[in-house]
Amino acid sequence: MNDSELVEETIVFVKKTLRGAEGGHDWFHIQRVFNNTLLLAKDEKVNVLVVSLAALLHDIADPKFYDGDESIGPQLAKDFLSSLNVDNKTISHVVEIIKNMSFKNSLDKKRKPFYTKELQVVQDADRLDAIGAIGIARAFNYGGFKNRELYNPAIAPNLNMTKEEYKKSSAPTINHFYEKLLLLKDKMNTNTGKKIAEKRHQFMLDYLEQFYQEWNGQL
* Chain residues in the site for ligand ADP (CB under 6 A): 24, 64, 102-104, 130, 138-139, 142-143, 169, 173, 176, 180
Cβ 130 to ligand ADP shortest distance, Å: 3
Nearest partner of 52 among 85, 6, 106, 83, judged by Cα: 6
| CB environment 68-91: b (16+ within 10 A), e (fewer) | eebeebbebbbebbeeeebeeebb
* Residue 176, contacted partner among Ni ion, ligand ADP, none, CB below 5-8 A by kind: ligand ADP
Task: Choose between 142 and 211: whose C-beta lies nearer to Ni ion.
Answer: 142
Specify the residue, 118 or 126, whose C-beta has the smaller distance to Ni ion.
126
Complex with ligand ADP: residue 47 or 100, whichever CB lies closer = 100
CB of 186 to ligand ADP, least distance (A): 16
| Residues contributing to the site for Ni ion (CB under 5 A) | 59, 126
Report the partner that residue 132 touches, choosing among Ni ion, ligand ADP, none (CB closer than 5 to 8 A by kind): none
**3-state DSSP assignment of residue 165:** helix
Angle between helices 27-41 and 3-17 (to 10 degrees): 150
- From ligand ADP, Ni ion, none, interface partner of 130 (C-beta below 5 to 8 A by class): ligand ADP
Cα-based distances in Å from 149 to 97, 99, 131, 199: 33, 30, 20, 27
Residue closer to ligand ADP (CB basis): 52 or 173: 173
Least Cα distance to 172 among 187, 159, 189, 155 occurs for: 155
User: What does 142 bind: ligand ADP, Ni ion, none (CB cut-off 5 to 8 Å by kind)?
Assistant: ligand ADP
